[in-house]
Chain A
Amino acid sequence: MSESFIDESMIEMYLFEMLQGIEQLETAVLSSEKSSEFSLDAINEIFRIMHTIKGASAMMSFTSIASCAHYIEDLFYFLREQKPLRIECSILSDLVFEGVDFIKVELQKVKNGDEIDGEASSLIKKIEEYLARLKQQNAATDDTDPSFVQQSYVADETKAQNMSACENYSYKATIYFQEGCEMENVRAYAIIHKLKEIADEIYFSPEDIIEDDDTVMIIREHGFQLYCKTEKDYEEMQIFFNQTVFLRELELIQLEDDQPITHSIGDQVPAIENIVTAVEAVKKVATNTVTNQSIISVSVNKLDQLMDLMGEMVISEAMVTQNPDLKGLALDNFQKAARQLHKITSELQDTVMSIRMVPLSTTFHKMHRVVRDMSKKLEKDVELQLIGETTEVDKNIIEHISDPLMHLIRNAIDHGIESATERISLGKKAISTITLEAKNAGSDVVVLVRDDGKGLNKEKILSKARENNLLFKPEDEMSDKEIYSLIFLPGFSTKENISEFSGRGVGMDVVTKNIESVGGSVSVDSVAGVGSTVTLKIPLTLAIIDGMNIKVGHSCYTIPTIAIKESFRPKPDETFTDLDQQDMIMVRGQCYPIIRLHERFCVNTDVKDFCQGILVMVEQDGKIVCLFADQLLGQHEVVVKPLPNYIRDIRKIVGIAGCTLLGDGSISLILDIGGLVGNNIT
């Protein structure tokens, strides 16, 4: 197939729609499975989605996907048309899921630009076998298809009479279609259908064109022959036939006037009733609500661009209103106008942000499938409860939380939840519940994954951490929360529990990594015997943050305001150096380590005495350090930009999250507090 018309944006669109369809389909199958019955609506929907996947995939020449979808479509066609009574729901949904998984894997290959090399034949065989079995089991109800009334067409009496007054010509036409135009028999039918308007007596061969699909081969080889009587002259007839789409060759012969045309084909030609009335009406797909929302789909690139521009605008605004030229001038009107400008830019910013916001519901609903597969394989009865799924987060963030959530849920079912017998003996409900909850909390979104299982085992965690040398504090000084948090450290994985689903060498630290990469944090709480709750704190958006700019020598750095607890200038007797030459400070009876930013980042500065500079106390994941800088420059909204690729390729710089442009056009590096804090302690 020619691929000239396929470009990247189409592949993107293809993937988007296929994945969206698959999501809908999974939802339909899951809810059907729950109610142990595939409703007509669900069958229709699955049929339609598979049909769409087949069409689009064939268009893209992804034959394995197309044929897999085709067989599932066939299966559901049978279900829709025959309404068999005995459907083993779980077998059917397993089969569909298997197909869906196959398609998903192939789509991932498309996304990565890999070869689409999946082999669907064993899966297709399974589907075929299942369909065959269904057909057999339901043979009793299997009426023969309502078929068309036998064909051949004779004009109705009146028309024939009207026409008889006119001069009639007889023609013989042989029509060949282009190779690969498909459904030649239907094309032949189309010609007859049109011909009816201008001709009265029509006979054609092969005659069984609608009933018998083998006629396709006959037409391909020998052409489609027809005889007709009409008042049109030769030229008109030639024009008529030449309009046939996909016509390759036409032989049109005008017959002798009186030659009885029936004769020329002989007995082969049966008479047809009106085909049109014989065509069975299609059962319409249930029309639910006709939502006519005016929604347009926009490519994410454009949104990113808009976001970038918005960022530039925030910077430009700062460049104008905080222009050094204005220093010391009394500009009442200017300030008024500047305030107005600021108001509009922040409103605009909010609007642009809101465009990028997507509800978590799709991500949440994906988890149904995870829970289903897990509970089936582990034979634990688990119910998934979703709360606050309409909570919205930035599009970028959505992509980063799906995997962690999946991991957490698998972990909870695998390790957290007890077997049904154990639950009953403990006096708990046999069916366990996992709750996925999202809610807004200030500038963050909080996502909770809660289970009602056995809870975390402190002793086990501690011994595991001891084994792997992960303890950074004497055990008896650790709070419960600190002990629980150990499970998120890299290298921590309770090996005795390794199973097919969770703990495959990679541990919960994957969750932490993913969430931290979007500026969020993870914590866990647990009550023995009652269950555990993992809390993901995620910023609403990545692109613009509130930051405190600080100066060290000639360099400027930005600290996310969210991490700052306080800032102060210490008195000489508050700071001291411990035995490891680590600077420390005592604040309200607590000791905190100090990071000298000028040393950490190798910059020259004259301010080396704590009392001349300023300390900024920052906290991340419960760890607190004080950053030592020359001075504070002020708090601003800054647009987060990544460091250039070239630099990121060279190395990952610990402690720097990105950079931003300041009002005067200079660049400030945004500090990664998590990196600074973590690095200092371990």
Chain B
Amino acid sequence: MAGILITDDTAFMRMTLKNILSKSGFEIVGEAADGLEAVAQYKALNPDLVTMDITMPNMDGISATKEIMKYDANAKVIVCSAMGQKTLVIEALSAGAKDFVVKPFQPDRIVDAIAKVLNS
């Protein structure tokens, strides 16, 4: 079972993702509320994949993605972005994120995306 680290500054979104992903057979190994936590947890937990919100306090998702890629060049990060954050998504992809989904997402969409990235 693939271990996933969820990053989002809202507990609501974390819960949503957790519900969706755990129902689809993924294991949620950790949850981070901002970029700093995400980087720290990545180092501690070595998850198979990270879902990354972009707009977060303390450290945003892009910097966090960069940090994680610096630590582990093979890290798999999927960005969860809101509509209209085009520039930021592009920046995140350049930073090493493997793909992105746009909020609000349908449950099967995010599951698809994660499965694809994990298999690549």
Asked if chains A and B are in direct contact (CB within 8 A), the reply is yes
Identify the A interface with B (CB < 8 A).
1-2, 4-7, 9-10, 13-14, 16-18, 48, 51-52, 54-56, 58-61, 178, 180-183, 185-187, 189-190, 193, 210, 213, 243-246, 275-276, 279-282, 284-285, 287, 290, 297
User: Judging by beta carbons under 8 Å apart, are A284 and B60 in contact?
Assistant: yes
What is the distance, in angstroms, from A263's C-beta to the closest C-beta of chain B?
A: 29
| CB-defined contacts of A243 to chain B, threshold 8 Å | 116-117, 119-120
What is the distance, in angstroms, from A275's C-beta to the closest C-beta of chain B?
A: 7
Contact of B15 among A9, A51, A245 (CB under 8 A): A9
Contact of A183 among B19, B36, B86, B120 (CB under 8 A): B86
**B48 interfacial by beta-carbon distance below 8 Å:** no
User: Judging by beta carbons under 8 Å apart, are B13 and A245 in contact?
Assistant: no
What is the distance, in angstroms, from A334's C-beta to the closest C-beta of chain B?
A: 48
Interface 1/0 per residue, B1-38 and A, CB below 8 Å: 00000000111110110011001000000000000100
Q: Lowest 4 CB-CB distances: which A-B pairs, in order?
A: A182-B102, A58-B104, A59-B104, A243-B120
User: Judging by beta carbons under 8 Å apart, are A284 and B120 in contact?
Assistant: no
What is the distance, in angstroms, from B16's C-beta to the closest C-beta of chain A?
A: 6
| CB-defined contacts of B112 to chain A, threshold 8 Å | 245-246
User: Judging by beta carbons under 8 Å apart, are B104 and A1 in contact?
Assistant: yes
Identify the B interface with A (CB < 8 A).
9-13, 15-16, 19-20, 23, 36, 55-60, 62-63, 81-83, 86-91, 93-94, 99-109, 112-113, 116-117, 119-120
Chain A's closest residue to B23 (CB) is A5
User: Judging by beta carbons under 8 Å apart, are A297 and B11 in contact?
Assistant: yes
Known contacts A190-B99, A285-B60: A276-B94 contact under CB 8 Å: yes
Chain A's closest residue to B19 (CB) is A5
User: Judging by beta carbons under 8 Å apart, are B117 and A245 in contact?
Assistant: yes
User: Judging by beta carbons under 8 Å apart, are B12 and A275 in contact?
Assistant: no
User: Judging by beta carbons under 8 Å apart, are B89 and A186 in contact?
Assistant: yes
28 interchain pairs (CB within 8 A)? Answer: A1-B106, A2-B107, A5-B23, A9-B15, A10-B12, A10-B19, A13-B15, A14-B12, A16-B11, A52-B55, A54-B82, A55-B10, A55-B13, A55-B82, A58-B83, A58-B104, A59-B105, A183-B100, A193-B94, A210-B86, A243-B120, A245-B113, A246-B109, A282-B60, A282-B88, A285-B60, A287-B59, A290-B58
Chain B's closest residue to A285 (CB) is B57
User: Judging by beta carbons under 8 Å apart, are A193 and B13 in contact?
Assistant: no
Known contacts A276-B94, A285-B57, A287-B58: A17-B109 contact under CB 8 Å: no
What is the distance, in angstroms, from A1's C-beta to the closest C-beta of chain B?
A: 6
Contact of A51 among B55, B59, B62 (CB under 8 A): B55
Contact of A48 among B57, B62, B119 (CB under 8 A): B57
| CB-defined contacts of B87 to chain A, threshold 8 Å | 279-280, 282
What is the distance, in angstroms, from B104's C-beta to the closest C-beta of chain A?
A: 4
User: Judging by beta carbons under 8 Å apart, are B104 and A279 in contact?
Assistant: no
Give A149 to B83 CA distance when docked, in angstroms: 23
Chain B's closest residue to A286 (CB) is B57
Chain A's closest residue to B89 (CB) is A186
Chain B's closest residue to A53 (CB) is B10
Chain B's closest residue to A58 (CB) is B104
Tell me if B's interface is mostly helix, strand, loop or mixed.
helix
User: Judging by beta carbons under 8 Å apart, are B91 and A282 in contact?
Assistant: yes
| CB-defined contacts of A287 to chain B, threshold 8 Å | 57-59
Known contacts A58-B103, A245-B99, A282-B91: A17-B11 contact under CB 8 Å: yes
User: Judging by beta carbons under 8 Å apart, are A181 and B102 in contact?
Assistant: yes
| CB-defined contacts of A6 to chain B, threshold 8 Å | 16
| CB-defined contacts of B81 to chain A, threshold 8 Å | 183
Give A590 to B19 CA distance when docked, in angstroms: 67
User: Judging by beta carbons under 8 Å apart, are B100 and A10 in contact?
Assistant: no
Give A550 to B92 CA distance when docked, in angstroms: 71
Give A275 to B108 CA distance when docked, in angstroms: 31
What is the distance, in angstroms, from B88's C-beta to the closest C-beta of chain A?
A: 6
What is the distance, in angstroms, from B63's C-beta to the closest C-beta of chain A?
A: 7
User: Judging by beta carbons under 8 Å apart, are A13 and B12 in contact?
Assistant: yes
User: Judging by beta carbons under 8 Å apart, are A52 and B102 in contact?
Assistant: no
User: Judging by beta carbons under 8 Å apart, are A10 and B15 in contact?
Assistant: yes
Give A381 to B55 CA distance when docked, in angstroms: 38
Chain A's closest residue to B53 (CB) is A55
Give A287 to B36 CA distance when docked, in angstroms: 11
Give A9 to B86 CA distance when docked, in angstroms: 32
User: Judging by beta carbons under 8 Å apart, are A61 and B104 in contact?
Assistant: yes
Chain A's closest residue to B81 (CB) is A183
User: Judging by beta carbons under 8 Å apart, are A17 and B119 in contact?
Assistant: no
| CB-defined contacts of B83 to chain A, threshold 8 Å | 58, 182-183
| CB-defined contacts of B82 to chain A, threshold 8 Å | 51, 54-55, 58
| CB-defined contacts of A48 to chain B, threshold 8 Å | 55, 57
| Residue among A16, A186, A243 facing the most chain B CB atoms (10 A cut-off) | A186
User: Judging by beta carbons under 8 Å apart, are A186 and B86 in contact?
Assistant: yes
What is the distance, in angstroms, from A293's C-beta to the closest C-beta of chain B?
A: 12
Give A244 to B117 CA distance when docked, in angstroms: 8
Chain A's closest residue to B83 (CB) is A182
User: Judging by beta carbons under 8 Å apart, are A2 and B106 in contact?
Assistant: yes
User: Judging by beta carbons under 8 Å apart, are B57 and A279 in contact?
Assistant: no
| CB-defined contacts of A52 to chain B, threshold 8 Å | 9-10, 55
Chain A's closest residue to B108 (CB) is A2
What is the distance, in angstroms, from A274's C-beta to the closest C-beta of chain B?
A: 10
What is the distance, in angstroms, from B22's C-beta to the closest C-beta of chain A?
A: 10
| CB-defined contacts of B100 to chain A, threshold 8 Å | 183, 186-187, 190
| CB-defined contacts of B91 to chain A, threshold 8 Å | 279, 281-282
Give A243 to B113 CA distance when docked, in angstroms: 9
